[in-house]
Amino acid sequence: MRTDYKSLWCAAGIALLVSGCASTQKSTMYVLSPGCQPTASGKNLLPGKVVGIMRVSVPRRINRPVIVTQKNQYELDFSEFRRWGEMPDENLRNTIRRNLSQLLNSDSIIDSRVELPNRADYNINIDVIDMSGELGKNAHLAVNWDIAKGNESKSTVVYTSDFSEKLTDSEYITYVAAQSRMVDKLSRDIADALLKESK
């Protein structure tokens, strides 16, 4: 049987070319960035109070390493090379925690999963309804949340925060920045409710 070395070399060259092209594609990592600033007074707005973040739930279709956006009304787009630096639920928890620390001028904002929940005077439960959008069109964040006092597992009062932003282009950084700004607004809603609860 005669070996066609020319064909073999051609096939090997194509394989190397394809694998070379595939290896040049690198993933870009994104994170939500807290943007809230401390109040001008610099005083702790909840002196002597500990605020815990208890539950942060994000729908499974969104809570993935890859960034998920809407392709259209019926389809989702999972971007293989545009990824979150950490899982969305953890990123959201950490961003809100840092925002609340700034807004309340407090270093007593804890993760209630790590520290005892009953240490907190208030425990926040956050349930994301939607955290998506269409690139080049809009970004959307809708959240149900409550503030439970002391040893209560949840509150009878459930708040809803719903935000949308128009996007100026189809870049992922623009989308993530819009999501960050909406998380800032959510954090302000929570901070305002905490201040009312404490009165």
The DSSP result for 50-117, as a single string, is -EEEEEEE--TTT-SSEEEEESSSS-EEEEEEEEESS-HHHHHHHHHHHHHHHHTT-S-EEETTTS-G
pLDDT of residue 153: 67
Closest to 54 in 3D by CA, of 109, 106, 91, 108: 109
Phi, psi of 111 (to 5 degrees): -95, 110
pLDDT of residue 15: 47
pLDDT of residue 40: 74
Query: pTM, whole model, 2 decimals?
Result: 0.84
**Dihedral angle at the C-alpha atoms of 97, 103, 107, 109, nearest 10 degrees?**
-30
| pLDDT per residue as tens, the chain (199 positions) | 554 545 544 444 444 444 444 456 788 999 999 999 987 777 889 999 999 999 999 999 999 999 999 998 889 999 889 999 999 999 999 999 999 999 999 999 999 888 766 789 999 999 999 999 999 999 999 999 999 987 776 777 899 999 999 999 999 999 999 999 999 999 999 999 999 988 8
pLDDT of residue 176: 98
Going along the chain from its start, the domains and CATH numbers come out as 28-198 (3.40.50.10610)
- Decide: helix, strand or coil at residue 160: strand
